[in-house]
């Protein structure tokens, strides 16, 4: 059994560092097998992610060569490389990272996915379908996901109001891009903005006092 002299606590796991003060643990006697080993799963996942990263690098090197050697007119190896990097990021950020909340993980992965689709559109010859259709569709998907999560987590549904406000602001992005001529499709962009506004208004009206109290608390209004 290990012991941290700084915190004066016994450590039953086989870790070498105190989880409280991060000091090195002193071991008393021989190390014995302990149960459960809370770090075993994390170590296995870390090993799997490192193996995937190594294989992904080898694969991308091969794909870059094939792209350059046989298909130089389209740089499709950029798509494969970013796709492999996205999968690695999912493993590192969404699976192994316990510090980030599920809302941050969901939003981050969703909008990185949007950027990936836009990259695909640019690589194969920009046609605008990524910003005209995929972007507003993703915004609608996030709004629908928020609604489902609020229904499943009914006890603290009011905690999603700020996320709904963020979605309203984000749904205005296609109209900003429309001003610069990047987005040309109005209907889907307007539908995404309307869905975000209606979701917020519905939460505010149905939630009544709890929703208003949450907004006052968030914006420090008395």
DSSP string, 161-209: HHHHHHHHHHHTHHHHHHHTTS---HHHHHHHHHHHHHHHHHHHHHHTH
Note the pLDDT tens digit of each residue in 49-59.
999 999 999 99
Write down the residue that tokens 């891009």 correspond to: 177
- 4 has a pLDDT exceeding 80: no
Instruction: Please compute the mean of the pLDDT values over residues 102-120 and round it to a whole number.
Output: 90
Q: What is the 3-state secondary structure (H, E, C) of 44-72?
A: HHHHHHHHHHHHHHHHHHHHHHHHHHHCC
pLDDT at 198: 95
- 5 has a pLDDT exceeding 70: no
pTM above 0.85, yes or no: no
178 versus 8: which is more confidently predicted?
178
């Amino acid at each position: 059994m290990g012991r941290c002299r700084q915190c004066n606590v016994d450590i039953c796991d086989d870790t070498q560092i105190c989880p409280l003060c991060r000091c090195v643990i002193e071991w008393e006697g021989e190390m014995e097998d302990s149960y459960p080993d809370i770090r075993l799963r994390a170590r296995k996942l870390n090993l799997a992610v490192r193996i995937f990263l190594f294989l992904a690098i080898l694969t991308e090197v091969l794909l870059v060569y094939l792209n350059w050697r046989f298909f130089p007119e389209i740089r499709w190896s950029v798509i494969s490389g970013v796709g492999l990097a996205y999968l690695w990021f999912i493993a590192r950020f969404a699976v192994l990272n316990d510090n980030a909340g599920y809302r941050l993980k969901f939003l981050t992965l969703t909008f990185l996915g949007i950027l990936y689709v836009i990259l695909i559109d640019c690589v194969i010859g920009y046609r605008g379908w990524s910003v005209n259709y995929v972007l507003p569709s993703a915004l609608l998907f996030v709004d629908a996901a928020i609604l489902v999560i609020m229904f499943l987590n009914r006890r603290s549904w009011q905690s999603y109001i700020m996320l709904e406000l963020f979605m309203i602001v984000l749904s205005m992005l296609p109209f900003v891009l429309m001003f610069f001529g990047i987005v040309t499709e109005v209907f889907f962009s307007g539908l995404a903005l309307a869905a975000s506004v209606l979701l917020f208004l519905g939460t505010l009206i149905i939630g009544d006092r709890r929703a208003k109290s949450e907004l006052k608390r968030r914006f420090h209004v008395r």
